[in-house]
Amino acid sequence: MRRVLFATLRTSLVFSARPAALLLRRVFASAGSETAEKLNRYAPAGVVEFRNERYGVEPDMLLDVYRPGSLSEPLPLLYWVHGGAFCGGSKDELAGYFKLLASEGYVVVGPRYSLAPEHRYPVPPRQMMQALAFLLANAGRLQIDPDRIVLGGDSAGAHIAAQIGALVTSPAYAEEVGITPTVQPAQLRGLALACGPYDLKLARGASSPVGRRFIQVVLWAYSGTREFLEDPAFATWSIPDHLTSAFPPTLITVGNGDPLRPHSELLARTLQGLNVEVETVFFPDDLQPPLTHEYQFNLDSTEGQLFLSRLTSFLARKQETTT
């Protein structure tokens, strides 16, 4: 499988990122089915679901809502963006995780967004901002407390969630990207970011040939240009370059064996330098076996359960914080 993938990436990148991006989508779909099956074993009963709520006119503009059936009052919102390297992944893969978090007393929303290469940056963050507008407009029906919102995401979804946080808290950045925020900074209580990529400069430093080609496929497909590192329009993709001290309190995690680990470490250092409240769930270099990408969804592991505990604790503190 690895040899076939490597050969396909190498050949297709002579002309276009599209064939390799679509192959990656199939690989992510296969892995996502396994993830969904494992997470569904942890899904509790008694969670109310609103599936495929339409938040916009495009076919992909759908979202799922989960809330505890035993509670009828407005609840804090956890808005979680799925990963998949911008060209794959699905909200449906994480339904078990969302139900588990909803049972803790939250409205949990998993949105779908349009994927590369058919759709390019900044379509996903623009859609995610539209989905937030939809949720606020329907807060009464969905019993959401609009003043207690935490954004979360994993992998590519962590990048999108972090970008939403930056757009909401930096008017200059929002103007540069061309996306108008649909929530106010005071409504955004925090961010929870798992295993994300955040910085274009680090994209130059992948340690293996496969890693370099993977990054080339993903960011070429997402940006629409082979020379994405030199494209001024794509430079706004880099989150650390556009942060301010108004960025929300943030929980960041990554595995010690994740090739994207330097991104999370850089993001944490940058936020700390701005005196933003930051919590990290990082692991020793020598932890064995190494924790790979998206370790947090392995709830059969001690480390997966550790992050879940830290996440629910973070959510509880953020919903209690007054603004």
With contact defined as beta carbons under 8 Å apart, do 117 and 221 qualify? yes
Structure tokens at 143: 């019993």
Q: Please tell me the predicted confidence (pLDDT) of residue 211.
A: 74
With contact defined as beta carbons under 8 Å apart, do 277 and 303 qualify? no
Tens of pLDDT, residue by residue, the chain (323 residues): 556 665 666 666 657 888 889 988 999 999 999 999 999 999 999 999 999 999 999 999 999 999 999 998 999 999 999 999 999 999 999 999 999 999 999 999 999 999 999 999 999 999 999 999 999 999 999 999 999 999 999 999 999 999 999 999 999 999 999 999 999 999 999 999 999 999 998 887 665 666 778 888 899 999 999 999 999 999 999 999 999 999 999 999 999 999 999 999 999 999 999 999 999 999 999 999 999 999 999 999 999 999 999 999 999 999 875 54
Q: What residues make up the domain containing 39? A: 2-320
Q: How far apart are the first and last CA of the chain?
A: 51
CA 51 centroid distance within chain: 20
List the CATH number of the domain containing 42: 3.40.50.1820
- Angle of helix 18-40 relative to helix 95-102, nearest 10 degrees, comes to 40
Q: Please tell me the predicted confidence (pLDDT) of residue 323.
A: 42
Structure tokens at 77: 């919102």
Question: How far is 78 from 152, CA to CA, in rounded Å?
Answer: 7
Instruction: Tell me how many domains the chain contains.
Output: 1
Q: What is the DSSP letter of 292?
A: -
Structure tokens at 101: 């978090």
Q: H-type helices in 13-138, by residue range? A: 18-40, 95-102, 123-137
Closest to 109 (Cα-Cα) out of 183, 41, 21? 183
Q: What is the DSSP letter of 151?
A: E
With contact defined as beta carbons under 8 Å apart, do 267 and 253 qualify? no
